[in-house]
Amino acid sequence: MTGDAENGRGHPPPGVGTLLVPLYVHPAVAPRAWEAPAGAAGRLYGVVLNVADGPGRRPDPAFTGAAARLRAAGVPVLGYADTGYGHRPARAVLGDVLRHRRWYRVDGVFLDRTASAPGPLAHYRRVTRGARLLGARTVVLNPGTHPDPGYARAGDLLVTFEGPWETYRRAGPPPGWTRRHPPERFCHLVYAVPPEEAATVARTARERGAAVHCAVPGTGDNPWSGLPYAVAGRPAPGETQEPPGPSEEDPTP
């Protein structure tokens, strides 16, 4: 457990870096994409592992090996779990966390589609507590926008922007409550970024109070199928392809 999330204390990042990399592509489709982060371990907050909108229905040996190699290189691996904006039951979300921990030995979790209104906050506190009890040392919440201030105390890192570059560059300043928290608690995920603007994303994130970021060239339904400029400079061949779908088996966690 990284610290006392309920009281807003003790939230050191899992790595010393400032890059959070959602890498939503199968290692068999883009092996170079899964090899490159190991060479940038010191710059990475973590890599998000997403088999099939979660851990999948059974262990995937390709992801097991890729995750093990990243962890051996010192890169924290975070398992993806969809929370359905607070509508997905805590038991289902924590079932995904358990599978990620058992099958891929992830260091933490990336809770996607987090709600932003104050109503579901108690639900997310239960989920984050449960994730920590299952061994997740880091909990990232991704509402993709600035949520109710209470969410900043529910996890270790809060993604307050996810969207395309054109929207990001026009976005206004963050709400005043964010200044009560250190920049290491906030992250911006930006896609469809032109190569010449990659450094601008990093600078803008810092100016807007977010120490962690990611800038990728990807577009379309899955813009996170390639590496960020800061790791690769350009997407490797094949990185825009979709990962294989889930299998039919679904063991009980």
Task: Tell whether 197 is covered by a domain.
Answer: yes
Whether residue 246 lies inside any domain: the answer is: no
Radius of gyration of the chain, Cα coordinates, nearest whole angstrom: 17
Q: What CATH number is associated with residue 86?
A: 3.20.20.80
Contact at 8 Å (CB) between 90 and 28? no
Q: Residue 17: what pLDDT?
A: 77
Average pLDDT over residues 67-96: 98
* Distance of alpha carbon 84 from alpha carbon 206, whole angstroms: 29
Dist. CA 190–CA 230, nearest whole Å: 13
- Asked if residue 188 belongs to a domain, the reply is yes
On whether the pTM is more than 0.75, the answer is yes
Q: What are phi and psi of 109, to 5 degrees?
A: -135, 150
Domains identified in the chain, total number: 1
For 158-181, the pLDDT digits (tens) are 999 999 999 999 999 999 999 999
d(CA 147, CA 101): 28
For residue 188, the cross-strand partners are 161, 213
Tell whether the model's pLDDT for residue 247 goes beyond 50.
no
* Distances in whole angstroms, Cα of residue 169 to Cα of each of 38, 70, 165, 173, 212: 30, 32, 6, 11, 17
Q: Which of 48-62, 69-83, 219-233 has the lowest mean pLDDT?
A: 219-233
Mean pLDDT score of the chain? 88
Q: Which domain holds residue 135?
A: 5-232
134 φ/ψ angles, rounded to the nearest 5 degrees:
-85, 0
Q: Check pLDDT > 90 for residue 246.
A: no
d(CA 80, CA 131): 12
Answer whether residue 199 is part of any domain: yes
Residue 253 in this model has a pLDDT that exceeds 90? no
Q: What is the pLDDT of residue 145?
A: 98
Number of H helices, E strands in the chain: 7, 8
Residue 232's pLDDT is: 80
